[in-house]
Amino acid sequence: MEKTDLLDVTINQALSLAYFIHGDKTLALQIVTSALNKLEVAVQAQDKRLYYEPQGRTTARKARNRINYNEKHLLQRLIYLESEPYEKEKEREGKLDERRMITHFIKHLVKITLKRNSFYVALGISRLLHNYTTAEAMEIYNLVVQDPERARDDYYYRSRKGRLMQEMKERFGDLLNLIKVNRGEERFEPRPSSKQFNGFVFDCLDNFTPWATACVIPSSYNPFATSLKELEFDSQDPDAEHHIEINRTHTILHPDCFTRLVKALKLNPPNDRLEIPNFNLSTSATDNHRNDPPTFGRDELEAIKSSLDEQAHRRKRFSAGLLKVVVDGALMGEIDLQRVCNLQVEIAEGAELIEIIGNSKNEEVRLASCFIQAHQPTSKNTITLEGGQEITFSQAHKIDQYGEVETSTLNIDYRETRAFKAAALAINHRINRLGDALRINNLAGVIKPALAFMLVALLGLGVWFFAIKGDPRPLEQADHNQSSPQPENPEVTPNQSPDSKQADNRDEPNSGKIQNQDKQEKPQKPRKSDNDRLIASDRKPTNPEDADAVKPGTRSTQPAVSGLALSEIKLIGIQISCDDAHCQELRTRLIEGLSASNRFAFTNDLNKADALLKISDIRETPNDSQASVIARLANAKGFVLFPANRGGSGNRYRGQPAEVAQKIINDLLEESLKAAKHPAGNKQ
């Protein structure tokens, strides 16, 4: 197929998606045109290969914490971003029907989870769009990720669910109501019945599934008999996980694949667990929602392409003027290129897209776009414009022990690569600084003619200098060093991380001096002990579904330590999510079993405990005559050690409390013996 034909197919696919969201042909054309213009200047940065050491993971294998989408998936995300202002405007007007609001809700849920990773996609679909329990959500994700090392305990799931609900509430405001349900869990108030929208939700998820991705879940799949290589990451190359993450995301979002997934786990089908919010809509809201996209003609496609060509031509004509730095549509700062060529801004957690908009000769043009890459502590991406200018995005993130962002800093640097323009820009910087020092506005009549003469002379000298030397960077760098505030650490510039410093200095004339300074070691902060973290973990709510009561604390910036392995566990604490007679008896029997095992011992002192045995009550009714629980053992770092064969989601037990307690102890002893025989594979 010709390249032009491929572009037409992509544009038509984008128009169909925009029309599905809004049901407006004219609006769909506007959204897709704007999204494609941003894509033109975003792809180079996103396709950059980045390597890093993941946080809270074994060092034996590197892996991405977020996915590096290809161009089509970037275009989908840009359509979601471009659609949002129009969605909010319609919501304020109060003329939307329930189906359109469902579309907005699911689209935004997909948008805020896709920008993170497949874990958040699984959490959002299973816990916010459907009412699967925390334990069931753990089973769903553990099956999708096919990696026991990534299993987390229920606290991690509840705290991240709370974060997603907060973002959804901030987006929709009074259109959503929060309620408390069983065991104090906070959820969005559901409409009385969601079954009539099963087919429509299916269509929404089908449209929002990443383009050009395939189904990898067989129609009859037994997760306990076979593994899926398409979902399993076992490479040494972190970039290799990109395609695996795409497969995982497809499996969760695509309605057919998700149905097969929960069926394999013997859970209730999605249609029975769908829980649509009860939106506060006007009774007169009429939107006439239509899903059948119209035909977009050749003239409309050519108009979009002409817009792309015009933007490229305007970027080529751009000369140093004023740069606006925009993050998610909000102006964060400006760079007057006649005075400086760099800017540092702070980025809010959860921000997604950075844009650089140039203003030269009263003409605005979008010069560069870059998705915020919060999957690693630092990143550096450079985009070269059609006119030869370079814009560099340097991102630095403070990452918590789970590999997620706490705070972010962004540095933007602009550089002219052509000798004449670089010399002229550097001279302008010096003249403007001199003018500021002399308060040129008061002496304009005398000094301006002299400065004009000096400018002509310096331009001639600059052209000669760059013609001889052939490299504008020393002068550009000298100007940058004079105009920028110096960092506290003289070894690292504001746009460099310590890890990338040595590579960046290969082009600098004094790089040898800087490389010698790399040998100096920085003092490290003391790391909390395993017992300290276990105590902090057990101050969290005991109810497994209590999402709103959990608030994430401040975490260390040091790489997380995995904690003790199962073969090293001795003292065990017990946490049970209920306190009726059945649970009290179960606790007593578990304590007796640990004491009689000659392998483990029970302790009430969490300062001494090596691990915590968590028992989640899953009885459908409190009056059930038998105990029905899920059991898992987590060490002080939150890594699930038992069960190993279920990826950390927990083993299910049902029966009389004494019988259940004995089964749990027996299974725990059996896995402990296996771990002792194979200690190398037992480390989390």
Phi-psi region of 390 (alpha: psi -120 to 50; beta: other; left: phi over 0): beta
Cβ 43 vs Cβ 383: under 8 Å:
no
**What's the pLDDT score for residue 155?**
87
Q: In Å, what is the CA distance from 656 to each residue of 544, 588, 616, 653?
A: 22, 13, 15, 10
3-class SS shares of the chain: helix, strand, coil, % to 5:
45, 15, 35
**What's the pLDDT score for residue 453?**
64
Q: Measure the CA–CA gap between 252 and 114, rounded to whole angstroms.
A: 11
Q: In Å, what is the CA distance from 304 to each residue of 32, 33, 87, 311, 317?
A: 8, 6, 22, 11, 20
CA distance between the termini of the chain: 48
Sequence-ordered list of residues with C-beta below 8 angstroms from that of 503, at least 6 positions apart, any chain: none
**What's the pLDDT score for residue 683?**
44
Number of H helices, E strands in the chain: 21, 16
Q: Measure the CA–CA gap between 368 and 364, rounded to whole angstroms.
A: 12
Q: In Å, what is the CA distance from 62 to each residue of 222, 232, 236, 240, 642?
A: 29, 14, 6, 10, 24
**What's the pLDDT score for residue 201?**
96
Q: Which of 482, 479, 477 is nearest to 496 (CA)?
A: 477
Mean pLDDT by 10 residues, the chain (684 residues): 67 93 94 91 49 37 45 91 94 89 97 91 96 94 85 87 94 94 89 92 96 89 83 73 88 96 94 95 62 80 88 82 88 87 85 86 82 72 82 81 74 87 81 67 54 67 61 42 41 42 41 40 45 43 41 36 77 86 88 90 84 84 79 82 70 88 91 78 46
Residue 416: strand, helix, or coil: coil
DSSP 287-326: -----SPPPPPHHHHHHHHHHHHHHHHHHHH--S-EEEEE
Structure token digits, residue 642? 């038992």
Q: Measure the CA–CA gap between 23 and 1, rounded to whole angstroms.
A: 30
Amino acid (1-letter code) at residue 492: V
**pLDDT tens per residue, range 460-476:** 676 666 655 554 444 34
**What's the pLDDT score for residue 469?**
53
Amino acid (1-letter code) at residue 387: G
Q: Measure the CA–CA gap between 468 and 550, rounded to whole angstroms.
A: 65
**What's the pLDDT score for residue 534?**
46
Q: Measure the CA–CA gap between 320 and 489, rounded to whole angstroms.
A: 31
Structure token digits, residue 134? 């925390």
Sequence-ordered list of residues with C-beta below 8 angstroms from that of 24, at least 6 positions apart, any chain: none
State phi, psi for 49 to the nearest 5 degrees: -80, 130
Alpha carbon 336 to its chain centroid, in Å, reads 32
Sequence-ordered list of residues with C-beta below 8 angstroms from that of 45, at least 6 positions apart, any chain: 368, 369, 370, 371, 381, 382, 383, 393
- The alpha carbon torsion through 601, 605, 611, 615 (nearest 10 deg) reads 90
DSSP 370-415: EE--TTSSEEEEEEE-TTS-EEEEEEEEEE-TTS-EEEEEEEEEEE
Structure token digits, residue 374? 């919060």
Sequence-ordered list of residues with C-beta below 8 angstroms from that of 404, at least 6 positions apart, any chain: 65, 116, 374
Q: Measure the CA–CA gap between 377 and 383, rounded to whole angstroms.
A: 20
Q: Measure the CA–CA gap between 115 and 658, rounded to whole angstroms.
A: 46
